[in-house]
Amino acid sequence: MGEGLLASIESPADLKRLPVKQLPLLAEEIRRFLLETVPKTGGHLASNLGVVELTLALHYVFDSPADRLVLDTGHQGYVHKLLTGRRDAFHTLRQLGGVAGFLRPDESPHDVYGAGHASTSVAAALGMNNADDTGWTVAVIGDGALTGGLALAALNNSCLARRRFLVVLNDNGMSIDPSVGTIARHLSSIKARQPARRLNHLLRGVISRLPGGKTTLRNVYNHLKDFFFYFFLPSSRAVVFEELGYSYFGPFDGHNVVGLVKLLGALKRIEDEPLLLHVITRKGRGYAPAEMRPTRWHGISAGTPVGEEEGTLPRPQEKGRRAVKSYAEIFVDTLIDLARKHPELVAITAAMPSGTGLIKFAELFPDRFYDVGISEDFAVTFACGLAAAGKRPVCAIYSTFLQRAFDQILHDAAIQKLPLVLAIDRAGIVGHDGETHQGIFDLSYLRMIPGLVVMAPRDEEELRRMLVTALMYRDGPVAIRYPRGPAAGVELSADPRPLTIGTWEGLRSGADAMILAVGPMVSEALRAAEQLEGRGISVGVVDARFVKPLDEAMLSRILSRSEYVLTVEENVLSGGFGSAVLEFAARVPREHRASVETIALPDKFVEHGSRAELRIRYGLTSDALVERMALHLGKAARELEVV
């Protein structure tokens, strides 16, 4: 799209040169641009379609970056990126080395705060405002993010706000799935009693029936509406926000960009008290399939077809390929089978019923399913309460989000030895969402917790066996981490058998070296061993399915009988599985100790890109394993010849 209003905008200063009356046209251009580009790269579509007018109004009225715009989560920041100089590079969105899918301060000075987890914006904005109130600080937060404890704590600290502080509540009734809880019900009740909207319709109807003098009457209508909105509406609703110290305005139509500009301009004159503006938006606005199915269109993969008809349909399965279920689907299918046998089993998620697959469980067992909103810490402690009272809770939470519940896992679950199951989805490299979403720390932050059992399946059959094992285990919490995307495609047994806690499985024997692999790296290790066999190198492979406790008996035998051991995991090296093996090896007498090396992710935050690209970049492929093994074993052979 090289022509039109959007093509003329390289910065917010260019936006401000447009007459206000042209903003609706620009909004439509931006929607067309998003619908043309995002389906090609993949990304968050519905959420960005819903904030076009709001983002335009904020940049039109405020002076970014002198005025700080703090967007919660940042997945709805595409329009912000288009208005701040990144339009021409937008075709690289979420690609390796391209524009990030979330906000990043190192990408633009307009990205004043980068966060990929929800509920952070108000707290961060309060800190910025408290440090410097020479300009405005505006926190934009969704109603879904408002369910998070961090957001509620921030609202509770409105007393820390100084001058020029505004919270914009973008209320579309959604996080990824529909918003849940008391706050969502409270906001719904506010929207259901919109006197400003009723007055709008009433006055519009009266004026349309009066003869002549329409221009003058329209002015009267606008003045009456403004009078009602500013003087009656703030004092007539949302007592909760006002009792927290905010002057409340709303609810207001978040797609009326001209009205938003006028309203925000008026609010800028109120500098000495914290303000909260409640706007109503529609997720997926302007694209019918996304409006009808906002969860389906929240995040889309590259190559998703777009059209009024085809956009509502799933992508066809490629001919000749058997459909392989995802790990999340295998997880929930197994959980449903187990729930039929165990009436005490309950399932919990934190605003991710669709992403974790638990929406299927909820349909079958509505009284045994809990969506607690964007509050992973609450989810875990709530599960602990259920476990203490005799239930068998299974918490399904993405790896990156479970980080937010570390204290609860340690303090509430592990210390009390409560039998709950942590089903950790999206473990390892997840790809295009980048640093904030890579699930590469869980083995490290979980392995250090006493009494916590940590498992990682190599395929879907082992995942099923681990779920059975976890439900049979009564001595404390169990964590099972599994990757994003399709499973391995192995045949499933009719009745998965439990595993013995702390036991590994030898999959291949080897005379020259051993690879100890975790989770999806097992298949890479097996492929590497096959390639090395063709070179005359005999390498064994062990499925180290228990990261905690280690299979110390097997590991002792391996260290005493092998010359060279290589560990491989899709986790950071620091504190992960390789570290555990090295710690154990350090206790083995030197004369019985193999040479141990590790392959893991480096001590850095992993950037955005496809999973395949990132695995190649960081050496987590069979080819990389072959190169490492051949290099070491070749060097060892040469040293032996010299001796």
**Out of 53, 104, 285, 376, which one is annotated catalytic?**
376
- The rounded distance, in Å, linking the Cα atoms of 423 and 221 is 57
Q: 498, exposed or middle or buried, with CB in 10 Å at 0-12, 13-18, 19+? A: middle
Name, in order, each residue with C-beta under 8 angstroms of 340's C-beta and a sequence gap of 6 or more. none
**Out of 87, 283, 296, 465, which one is annotated catalytic?**
283
DSSP 141: E
**Is residue 160 within 8 Å of 130, Cβ to Cβ?**
yes
Active site residue 283: yes
- The rounded distance, in Å, linking the Cα atoms of 437 and 116 is 7
**Is residue 577 within 8 Å of 583, Cβ to Cβ?**
no
Residue with tokens 């290589």: 566
Element (DSSP H or E) covering residue 399 = helix 399-402
Name, in order, each residue with C-beta under 8 angstroms of 227's C-beta and a sequence gap of 6 or more. none
Element (DSSP H or E) covering residue 348 = strand 345-349
Considering only the C-alpha atoms of the chain, give the largest distance between any 2 of them, rounded to a whole number of Å. 108
Residue with tokens 């974790």: 356
Q: Is the dihedral of CA 463, 465, 468, 471 positive or negative?
A: negative
Q: 316, exposed or middle or buried, with CB in 10 Å at 0-12, 13-18, 19+? A: exposed
Which residues on neighbouring strands pair with residue 596, listed in sequence order?
Answer: 565
Active site residue 164: no
Tokens representing 295? Answer: 């969860």
Closest residue by Cα to residue 614 from 452, 461, 428: 428
**Is residue 327 within 8 Å of 423, Cβ to Cβ?**
no
Active site residue 29: no
DSSP string, 547-603: EES--HHHHHHHHHH-SEEEEEEEEESTTSHHHHHHHHHTTS-GGG--EEEEEEE-S
**Out of 391, 404, 481, 611, which one is annotated catalytic?**
404
Distances (CA, A) of 209 to 196, 198, 201, 226, 335: 20, 17, 13, 21, 61
Active centre residues (catalytic): 283, 376, 404
